[in-house]
Amino acid sequence: MEYQKNKKRAIRIAHRHRLIHKRKTYYANWADRATYKNKVLGILSKTATVCSCAGCGNPRKHFNEDTLDEQINALNYAEYVLKLLDC
Ligand SMILES: [Zn+2]
């Protein structure tokens, strides 16, 4: 990495580069990696989800359901309570 004026700035730029590299790989099927332009990579680095359709969006918004993480946490909590009660 190049020399930066201060550490916070260097960390912020490093995380931007990390996200660009990561999102370049997980949108590989969406478009050919070689065709990515700097503008598209910049948009991808600041926008995790490109579209907002029901398939990609938050289920609470579209279907009024819990998200996957919330469902998993609810199951884990139920198991935890059952373990505490010795059922
Ligand atoms: Zn979508």
pLDDT tens digits for range 68-83: 899 999 999 999 899 9
pLDDT tens digits for range 28-84: 655 565 566 777 788 888 887 777 788 888 899 899 999 889 999 999 999 989 999
45 in the same domain as 4: yes
Q: How many domains does the chain have?
A: 2
58 in the same domain as 44: no
Position 48 scores a pLDDT of 78
What protein residues have CB closer than 5 angstroms to ion ligand 1?
Answer: 51, 53, 55-56
For residue 83, the enclosing domain spans 54-87
Position 38 scores a pLDDT of 78
45 in the same domain as 10: yes
The contacts of residue 41 (CB under 8 Å, 6+ apart) are: 20, 23, 24
42 in the same domain as 20: yes
Q: How far is the CA of 78 from the centre of ligand 1 (A)?
A: 32
pTM of the model: 0.49
Q: How far is the CA of 47 from the centre of ligand 1 (A)?
A: 13
**Cα–Cα separations (whole angstroms), residue 23 to 14, 29, 56, 58, 66:** 14, 11, 15, 19, 26
